[in-house]
Structure 1
Amino acid sequence: MKYTIIVFMIAILGLANNGKAEDAMGKADNLFYQGLFPEAEAYYNRILKKDSNNVYANLMLGQIALYGNRFSKAETHLKKALTDSSVRVKTIGLLSETYYRQDRFAEAGSLFAEAGQMAKADKLQAFKDRTPYLIESAAIVTELPFVQTDPLPLIMLTVNGRETMFLIDTGGWELSIDEELAKDLGIKFLGTQTATFAGGKTAATYHGILDSVKAGSFIVRNVPINISQAPKRAAQMFQQPVRGVVGTCFLYHFNFTLDYPGGKLVLARRNSGEATAVSISGGLPFWMAGDHIMVAWGTVNSGQPQLFFIDTGLAGGGFTATEATIKTAGIKLGEAKEGMGGGGEVQVRPFTVDRLTLGNIEERDVRGLFGALPPGFESRFGFLIGGIISHGFFRPYRLTFNFDSMKIFLEKKK
């Protein structure tokens, strides 16, 4: 039996402590490593009160602020760290991401170029005076029905005037289309880089720009894209004419809801005050590392809380985990099976989680697949990630991401 696994680009950011840490710095670093970002931030702030020019504390405070989409604070701290050559490379990476998330492409492109990431730099600098992600519509909210919900949601978008089927995957980066479609649409290829997919598989991905994307009532102009063979592999597995993937970088320009029971994607303008789910208080805080790695707290079986990557693109399961999480949770793995990811075939081993939580939301007997995570993913961003929570877990819910409050809302239909 084949299992479909779609786990898209995973950005790589290193984390290194600059020199021997004092006691407070050591505590702050340990808290950060555990993913306790507010607690770590408090310690780094204590250090700055005693030494306002501490480069490393400014760097880490900028990183934590970026994870929470607090851009002004991130920029202030990172610019202070930028002056020190010993952390300049890391600081450039974080500051370029700070600008990128705000669609400040000229500034981001210059920093990507300095970091040697010329494919990204060329694409962003190609925008020149064009406003990226320009939304043209009087609408506040729009709904896009799913063509199908399982094994993963598919929707129809119109790209450069052509109606096209897309897979929705929060584990994906920018909007992605296949190479053949890009050529048919006459899109200029703006450089190439290597992307990491399920099981650590790598493949070439190209950069480009779409003139327009029509999503329901919204028309979005000047959309950065990546171009690869991943959508083609999805089409082969799903036996549907999938030509692209809607990733988080496109979606976070809205507050959006994946309404699995209702079979639709709901997009709402940011800062509109319009709810994409029922009006509910609370919500689960989440943070975003890299360009799309959204993490939130959960548990496996009777284990301690861990941060999990919220990647909705794991078809055939609701969870995948690191080897450490599998061992700690006492999970028994099944026989190896052949699966398919964005970069090609991978080996996975099925298992079942007795109890899986995300915040205070609990599901029982969740099907999982071990082997989907790239090697070293659990600490690639400098903090521990225990696994991925995905489609099978969220299937009974309306799952809303609010990027203004940086909170997730889960509503189960009664």
Structure 2
Amino acid sequence: MPVDGGWNRRSLLRGAAVVAGAAATAPLLGKAATAHAGPGDADDADALFRAGEFERAGRAYEEILKKDPKNVHAARRRGYVGLLSNRFPEAEKYLTMALGLAPGDKEASQFLADCYTRQDKFSLAVPHWQAAGEDVYAKWFAAFRGEPYQVHGDTGRVPWRQMDPFPLLEGSINGGPPKNFMFYTRVAWLGVSARTAKEAGLSAVASQKIEYAGRTIWMYFGVLGSFKLGGIELRNIPVQWSDDADAPTHDGIIGTWILYHFLTTVDYAGRSLILRRRTPETARKARADAARAGVKPLPLWLAREHLLHSQGSIADSGTKVVALDIGGTGEQVAGMSVETAAQLRVRTDYERPLEAYAGGQPVISYPCYPKEVRLGDAAAKNVYCYADKGGGTGGFASADAQGNAALAGAAEAGGPGDFGFDVLGHFSHSFYKPYNVTLDFTGMNLYIAHGKAT
């Protein structure tokens, strides 16, 4: 059974790094973005999905299933539509349908494993990770006993110790002294340095050997008893570290899995991270507060367990799917492929290439200056961005020598355009500096407002 848009998790583990440059996203100004689906038309349903018209695509896949109940592709894609928006019952329904029709479908198994993992139903996720051939995840999640991600406390507000080259804040591992952590939504789990892992007495339940930038690194995966951020404590959570000898200047990195368990406000303007219990009540309050402030909600989509997407624009692109790379490092405001920059006639300086690494492989990017980069009402004009040479399947160019494969955990080797849908570009660390960004993983809404969070 063919799969759509490979997940390539082994490539992910081999190429893990904290990186900050430009996403090599697929050019997407072609016919896929203008598709109009008729009822039961598989090609047009896929074109709608590729163009980021997820709800319309979902309806089109449902029409296909009415006519052809044994259509594995339509069932899998319909489940994927639900998963992108954290609509778990419908995701489970259609992904289970797909596996019933094709028990060996690895991509459907991956999606269903992701679906259960997001709900902290690790025991249900394990056999699906195993069926997908993801032995590290299967062993890791099988090691958990009791409820994972136990939340203690209602609100945590953690000030940043620095803004650049990356936001840095304090957290505590297993009740120990404060440690310095950065955060980045291109990373999945909580990663810690080898030194921090040793001090905390962590033991591995799974391991993975990777090749990165010409050297071999062992990555280790374990279960952490306690992680404190401000007035919040998380217990019984996944943690990763390695034997990498390249010592970082910080003690760990907080990925999306941590942020995902809260109604999270990344307050760039106020230089703080605000975590509130993730409940329907806090989601409603966030929406009401945004409405009073005149801030409209943007859609929030979650792909490959941890990668954030919404809708935005670059130059004259019109509104498209964009990746949200919040945190991390880098002076650039946004990134795109050189093909997209050329199609949008973005001024690009090809005489000043930026040579770096992505997933341990050399990557070249070029400074570029779009007339506008926009996310809802938040915009930046004539700002410094990257155009990445690598087409639709490249990775990230690192502008920062902090790129530590072991500490990062899961910055993707594959670019954010390989999920079955096109991505215009990614919005990076420097874009968010004048704003506060609230991530509502319950209602799957994004709110971005100028100034400090209240």
Q: Which has the higher contact order (CA 8 A, sep 6+)?
A: 2
Judge conservation of contact 1:8–1:172 (CA < 8 Å) in 2.
Answer: no
CA deviation string 1:267-323 (max 9, x = no partner)? 011115234698013310021110111111111111233211101224221111123
Task: Name which of 217, 229, 237 aligns with 1:215.
Answer: 229
Task: Name which of 56, 64, 86 aligns with 1:39.
Answer: 56
Root-mean-square deviation (CA, aligned residues, Å) is 3.1
CA deviation string 1:72-92 (max 9, x = no partner)? 110011111102337621110
Of 67-76 and 301-310, the range deviating more from structure 2: 301-310
CA deviation string 1:218-247 (max 9, x = no partner)? 1110110222478966x4xxxxx4111111
Cα distance, 1:384 vs. partner?
A: 0.8
Partner of 1:401: 439
Judge conservation of contact 2:72–2:102 (CA < 8 Å) in 1.
Answer: no
Partner of 2:290: 280
Q: 1:277 to 1:157 in 2, by over 3 A?
A: farther
Q: Which letter does structure 2 place at the counterpart of 1:315?
A: G
Task: Name which of 167, 170, 190 aligns with 1:175.
Answer: 190
How many Å separate the matches in 1 of 2:246 and 2:149? 25
Partner of 1:330: 345
TM-score, normalised relative to structure 2: 0.78
How many Å separate the matches in 1 of 2:207 and 2:184? 22
Q: 1:346 to 1:30 in 2, by over 3 A?
A: closer
In the alignment, does 2:159 pair up with 1:145? yes
Q: 1:155 to 1:210 in 2, by over 3 A?
A: same
Cα distance, 1:341 vs. partner?
A: 6.7
Percent same amino acid among aligned pairs?
29
Task: Name which of 420, 425, 428 aligns with 1:382.
Answer: 420
In the alignment, does 2:160 pair up with 1:156? no
Counterpart secondary structure, 1:180? helix
Partner of 2:180: 165
Q: 1:167 to 1:376 in 2, by over 3 A?
A: closer
Task: Name which of 290, 308, 316 aligns with 2:331.
Answer: 316
Counterpart secondary structure, 1:64? helix
Judge conservation of contact 2:378–2:450 (CA < 8 Å) in 1.
Answer: no
Q: 1:89 to 1:169 in 2, by over 3 A?
A: same
Counterpart secondary structure, 1:116? coil
Judge conservation of contact 1:350–1:367 (CA < 8 Å) in 2.
Answer: yes
CA deviation string 1:96-126 (max 9, x = no partner)? 0000100111111121122221111111000
Partner of 2:91: 74
Partner of 1:125: 142
| Structure 2: gaps of 5 or more residues | 1-17, 25-37, 396-412
Judge conservation of contact 1:5–1:316 (CA < 8 Å) in 2.
Answer: no
Partner of 1:243: 251
How many Å separate the matches in 1 of 2:53 and 2:320? 10
How many Å separate the matches in 2 of 1:410 and 1:195? 37
Judge conservation of contact 1:48–1:57 (CA < 8 Å) in 2.
Answer: yes
| Structure 1: gaps of 5 or more residues | 11-20, 236-240
Cα distance, 1:327 vs. partner?
A: 1.5
Q: Which letter does structure 2 place at the counterpart of 1:249?
A: W
Q: Which letter does structure 2 place at the counterpart of 1:110?
A: P
Judge conservation of contact 1:266–1:276 (CA < 8 Å) in 2.
Answer: no
Task: Name which of 255, 279, 296 aligns with 2:310.
Answer: 296
Q: Which letter does structure 1 place at the counterpart of 2:149?
A: Y
Judge conservation of contact 1:153–1:168 (CA < 8 Å) in 2.
Answer: yes
Q: 1:344 to 1:43 in 2, by over 3 A?
A: closer
In the alignment, does 2:39 pair up with 1:29? no
Higher share in strand: 1
Q: May I ask how many residue pairs the two structures share in their alignment?
A: 390
Judge conservation of contact 2:263–2:438 (CA < 8 Å) in 1.
Answer: yes
Q: 1:227 to 1:292 in 2, by over 3 A?
A: same
Judge conservation of contact 1:28–1:43 (CA < 8 Å) in 2.
Answer: yes
Q: 1:203 to 1:94 in 2, by over 3 A?
A: farther
Counterpart secondary structure, 1:83? helix
Judge conservation of contact 1:173–1:247 (CA < 8 Å) in 2.
Answer: yes
Q: Which letter does structure 1 place at the counterpart of 2:239?
A: I
Q: 1:352 to 1:228 in 2, by over 3 A?
A: farther
